[in-house]
Amino acid sequence: MFDTSDYKYSFSNEEEALDFQKNMDIVPMLTWQEMEQTAPTPNTQIFTINQFSEKKEAAFQWIMASVSLEYQ
């Protein structure tokens, strides 16, 4: 189990929050030429690691544990 008690996603002011949002990216879903009508299952979970994360390795380990056969 990972200790997430010190993770923070809050900002001290609106300017800081807006500055953070400027660095966020949105990516399109993958598509395949012969399967244009294929779409992700509703409520699909997408895990990402923010480039500003100070705990990238812990986040990666959490993602790997979450998609493991044991967790499923």
In the chain, the largest separation of any two C-alpha atoms, in whole Å, equals 48
Residue 4: pLDDT over 70? no
Average pLDDT over residues 59-70: 89
Q: Could you tell me which of 30, 35, 9, 4 has the C-alpha nearest to residue 20?
A: 9
23-33 confidence digits (pLDDT tens): 766 666 667 78
Q: How far apart are CA 54 and CA 42, in angstroms?
A: 31
For 31, half-sphere exposure in the C-beta direction (CA atoms, 13 angstrom radius) is 6
54 compared with 12, residue with greater pLDDT: 54
Average pLDDT over residues 26-49: 75
Given pLDDT bands bounded at 50, 70 and 90, which one contains residue 57? Answer: very high
